Structure 1
């Protein structure tokens, strides 16, 4: 929104005699809104990105991610990484990263991706690949993150060796299904703890709402921005209950004037309302909701999560007092391979005799019994050895796997593995350098080689005049 539209919207609400304003801002409207609120003593409660300035009449529901992100980067001991960001949420995290980089000698490549399309993302990722960049911090809202992560998958950069830290408070809001079996490390932050009773009870009520009257209630998960909005309503309700109990008159009768008056005529009871809002301390969907004198969230906890092949997993948390606390250990988190026992593993393969073939009577059979061959027997023995259930899947396009030079997308069995549609491949697949960059190979069970064969020369007995062989007869005649 431009400043003119924001001014009209604010003045319209001010003229109606509102006590406080709940709303969003972006980088273009934040200064206009905060200036009006400060001049007219109208409190703004917002779930938008936190600002670093000291605005007396602004309450920021969204906690700052700066401390948690810097603590995590210190833990990983990253010295070189790429920082991808957009400017929709301002520059506070970018500024903190660059300041820390100067202090610690980090090599940070900061790249603004605000106006990127799909093709631009792919070109950028290929360029960073040539520079051997494997570590990324991505500072974007969930909607843009979805697009970025899709492009990362499309160019095959979601495999082992890559690490992505998502600077966002809604890690569980991001669609990462295609990353789960790729092998890349993905770490993020979560402000809504779905295991807490207050969140569980809310979700039960949420799912019972009529979708026709409340669109969006069919979503299985509550977005963190929606949770912040809900907590903001609770804060305002609690503040006005407090003012009522204290019998503080906050009526604006005769005080709903022109917001553009010169000089400005601030609301007299605006300071009382602002103080009541900042004194609120409640337990909301985003945990403890409490504010300091500048309207910023304080005494909050942010969970740190990693993406595993079984889903999201909490590995620690961060707060102002304890900073980063990691809770991962072998007792809490057994080896991921144990989880394979309780699910079916998809094994991709290709019809190629004598390795994988259809049985003559395959039409009368189901599942893995339809196939026979060396690789079929090998897969069966492996499954027995490690104790897993598996299902053979013939690759749909009938190809082994190559990467398109234009789109950088893998096809064939390699594509099935890279994009998470299968977890294991069993086939006579040649090990090449480009394939080894995106998937892991076992020891080969068959070796192929190219040889050049020639007839073994027969030994001949030397003749009487063999001593003349080094030179032609004409040369010998000239010598004579």
Structure 2
């Protein structure tokens, strides 16, 4: 025996290794999905990962292989299917598009290769072999629809649809017993955004009963516009043929008065579905952004993968499965595929969509259809249709309004209300005497509950949340914390405080209407005034105005010099005592022109006075210009000298996130942090990443955050209403920038609580009569010890820009142009008059004037004599030149 022992041990070890190796079979399953349905593709991947994670002890481990194609392109669909066949898959899921050429083509390919095909979409085709479809059979659904309309005794109605496939889904209704009812048809174009013309037409026709067979996107637009047109009031009835009605937010239409009915195959609020949604969020960062709840297609897909996985594990021959690559251009098939289909048909599971059982043809059997109706609370179940009984059962009891009112009344009922000590919403009374029970507490939330109890007649007892947490979902422990957790566990009936209404919390509990609206703000120290600058006198004008002012001065000075030389009136007799001078002078030299312009600008004046029309025109507009500019400068300078200019290191969240000197944070595990976590904006993601990487900057409560703002170079992100309260108490703090979002505080309660609507109505009344506003004034101002109203904030003054004084520059430019135009008129008139008097040519006179103008070095102008004294004139000119040379 001793010699055989090593051999036996070796054989046992080999057997164990082989067994371990065979325990885990990694099998590939293919997914073929439409490019336009990314959500279903992600759900398929996540469903496989979740099922593998939940069944770690099973022998089968699935791997997803996915192809995304355009379902309208048959060639692309065929190529993608054959590509998946070559990857050694053991089953194919899809397509998720509507039945047609692509679906039938894939079914034919799978039948040819004996490849299991699992579908989840509506498909009336009965001719298939290796196909499993978890979607309820279309004929059964049509029978349910007809029975519902008969039970409600609809004799006349309008069918509203958005494509031809929608009409195909109700083929029986279109041809069944026309003598019992009549109907009309109205089509809504999916690509159109405005359906109001069709709705006006329907309204004029007097139709009050409608069967809606549309996509979710079309239904959302339809109901929104129907409410605007007036089709969502009393006496209007709607039956919705869409199994994803739970994904539409119908809260706006709950109180419209219309009767809205639909059917569904699973309860989206059931514990099993809620657990699946939480697992999806915990296991992956991927979110389904377009829907509040999972769609029927997603639930079916999860059940299909679960059924396929369990069928493979339950198969005795699962470890002997031998997947192999298949090629569409060959004759090889996968013989084991048909066996897998038979195993799946015999398998039964309890899935998200209820019991999953299949008949011999691979169709869903033995399922329940829920008849649901929208009331003031939410969708409620009012009937059932069982597949085996083939009968619709209406379970809703007809009760009169008085009975319902008594049943839903809160009078004399008692509630346990949980709150947190967060001033001013809830706090302990500051007193020297011992208090007990509700008398210990005071605050805005305490007073609000008291007002509601007076209106509705209920009793209440307050309890405290010791850890002062409002409530977040703990993904590790898979349970809610804080006040939300207390409501879910039954420790409290209601929760009130600074409890923000968020989508994540609304998945767990219900909220009343917001009793206070708010948003996230930035709390920081008030800005400090800027110290005076040495060159503050330049502050009234912006840089561009100063530049243009200098350019204007130079242009006007040069224009005066030019106009002075051109204008005949500016050439004057230098010797007033001499009646016939031999030369004339001009006072507007370049230096004098510069001096005249600067003297006018400084409002000091000069001894120079313009004589000509053109120069006086230019001088006038320049004086007007200087009047406006000097007045504007004086007024703005006075403001700069008397008003302090405040400087804030940042103005908004973008500037706060990009700077490095000021640290910032928020309350840990609060709704503010969740806002940045779930936001799609890059800047908000950057803020969230910064806070997660600097946990020491996060605080346990708002008081710690306020302390850090007061004593450190720190900015605190918190709700705007809390910032208002802090600002009233601490005058050195303020809110920087605008609110980052809009949300509200609400009272939390369990899902589908009957008293939610009563609380909503009471809150609306308190808003309408101004009681909530009075409570806010009481706790934000009257009860607050701060007195910041006496502190007068000083506004900042900005420099005048070109937009403020641009008109003055325009007037100056127009005046200068008119002066130039007028000087040419003067020269022309003077030359014409002289040519007539001296009997010379007009052109010659004009040429002589222009030639003299261009001789800028000459500052004296000779006087022209008549033709009778040409010689004396020449002699006079020579004498003038000699005089000019001597004077130089």
State whether TM-score is above 0.5: yes
Farther off after superposition, 90-99 or 11-20 = 90-99
Higher relative contact order (CA closer than 8 Å, sequence separation 6+): 1
Q: Could you tell me whether the CA contact under 8 Å between 1:52 and 1:92 is conserved in 2? A: no
Match of 2:75 in 1: 4
Cα deviation digits, residues 383-412 of structure 1 (max 9, x gap): xxxxxxxxxxxxxxxxxxxxxxxxxxxxxx
Equivalent residues in 2 for 1:218-237 (5 A)? 221-237=293-309
Structure showing greater Rg: 2
1:300 pairs with 2:367:
yes
Q: Which residue does the alignment assign to 1:144? A: 218
Structure 1 CA distance for aligned equivalents of residues 410 and 181 of structure 2: 37
Partner of 2:127, secondary structure, is coil
Partner residue in 2 for 1:42 = 115
Cα distance between partner residues in 2 of 1:363 and 1:55: 68
Q: Tell me the residue number matched to 1:51.
A: 124
Q: Could you say if the C-alpha distance between residues 326 and 365 of structure 1 is closer, same or farther in structure 2, counting changes exceeding 3 Å?
A: closer
Deviations 1:408-459 (A, max 9, x none): xxxxxxxxxxxxxxxxxxxxxxxxxxxxxxxxxxxxxxxxxxxxxxxxxxxx
* Between 132-141 and 280-289, the greater mean CA deviation after superposition: 132-141
CA displacement at 1:114 relative to structure 2: 4.6
Shift of 1:309: 1.4
1:257 has 2:257 as partner: no
Query: How big is each residue's C-alpha offset from its partner over 1:118-148, in whole Å with a ceiling of 9 and x where there is no partner?
Result: 22x2221111112211111111232332222
Gaps of at least 5 residues in structure 2 are 1-71, 412-753, 762-769, 778-888
> Are the aligned partners of 1:50 and 1:63 in contact in 2 as well (CA < 8 Å)?
no
CA distance in structure 2 between the partners assigned to 1:344 and 1:239 by the alignment: 47
Counterpart contact for 1:310–1:339, Cα < 8 Å: no
Residues 336, 57 of structure 1: CA spacing in aligned structure 2 closer, same or farther, 3 A cutoff? farther
Tell me if the contact between 1:15 and 1:258 (Cα under 8 Å) persists in the aligned partners.
Answer: yes
Q: Name the SS of the counterpart of 2:89 in structure 1.
A: coil
- The answer (yes or no) to whether the contact 1:68–1:319 under 8 Å persists in 2 is no
Please point out which of 759, 766, 774 is paired with 1:366.
774
Return the TM-score normalized by structure 2: 0.36
**CA separation of 1:218 and 1:143: change in aligned 2, threshold 3 A:** closer
Name 1:325's counterpart in structure 2: 393
Q: CA RMSD in A?
A: 3.4
Tell me the equivalent position of 2:143. Answer: 67
Judged with a 3 Å threshold, the aligned counterparts in structure 2 of structure 1 residues 164 and 218 are, in CA distance, closer, same or farther, namely: closer
Q: Using a 3 Å threshold, how does the CA distance of structure 1 residues 21 and 155 change in structure 2: closer, same or farther?
A: same
Map 1:59-138 → 2, pairs under 5 A: 59-64=132-137, 65-87=141-163, 89=165, 91-102=167-178, 104-115=179-190, 117-119=192-194, 121-138=195-212
Aligned match of 2:346: 279
Classify the secondary structure of the residue corresponding to 1:8: helix
Instruction: Give the superposition deviation at 1:42.
Output: 1.6
CA distance in 2, matches of 1:259, 1:55: 18
Matched, 1:14 2:85: yes
Asked whether the 8 Å contact 2:86–2:326 carries over to 1, the reply is yes
> What does residue 333 of structure 2 align with?
266
**Distance in structure 1 (CA, Å) of the matches to 2:111 and 2:311:** 19
Aligned partners of 2:354 and 2:367 also within 8 Å: yes
1:235 partner SS: helix
Greater shift after overlay, 44-53 or 70-79? 44-53
User: Are 2:142 and 2:170, in contact at CA under 8 Å, matched by a contact in 1?
Assistant: no
Residues 118 and 151, structure 1, Cα contact 8 Å, conserved in 2: no
1:89 shift after superposition: 4.7
1:215 aligns with one of 287, 293, 300: 287
Q: TM-score, normalised by structure 1?
A: 0.65
Equivalent position of 2:766 in the other structure: none
Q: CA deviation at 1:202?
A: 2.6
Q: Could you say if the C-alpha distance between residues 48 and 318 of structure 1 is closer, same or farther in structure 2, counting changes exceeding 3 Å? A: same
Are residues 292 and 91 of structure 1, via their aligned partners in 2, closer, same or farther at CA, if it must alter by over 3 Å?
farther
Query: 1:53/1:336 Cα in 2 relative to 1: closer, same or farther (>3 Å)?
Result: farther
CA distance change for structure 1 residues 342 and 299 in 2, over 3 Å: closer, same or farther?
closer
Deviations 1:162-212 (A, max 9, x none): 1111112233222212211111110011222245443343344344345xx
**TM alignment of 1:409-428, pairs within 5 A:** none
The equivalences for 1:347-386 within 5 A come to: 366=774
Does the 8 A contact of 2:117 with 2:132 survive in 1?
yes
After superposition, the Cα gap between the structure-2 partners of 1:116 and 1:131, relative to the gap in structure 1 and judged at 3 Å, is farther
SS of the counterpart of 1:294?
coil
How far residue 297 of structure 1 moved from its aligned partner, in angstroms, is: 0.8
Q: How many Å apart are 1:233 and its aligned residue?
A: 0.9
Distance 1:148 1:5, change over 3 A: farther
Q: Which moved more, 1:337-346 or 1:153-162?
A: 337-346
Q: How many angstroms apart in 2 are the aligned matches of 1:363 and 1:113? A: 46
Measured after TM superposition, the shift of residue 347 of structure 1 is 11
- Is the 8 Å Cα contact of residues 248 and 291 (structure 2) preserved in structure 1? no
Following the alignment from structure 1 to structure 2, what is the Cα–Cα distance between the partners of residues 333 and 259?
65
* Aligned twin of 2:435: none
What is residue 291 of structure 1 aligned with on the other side? 358
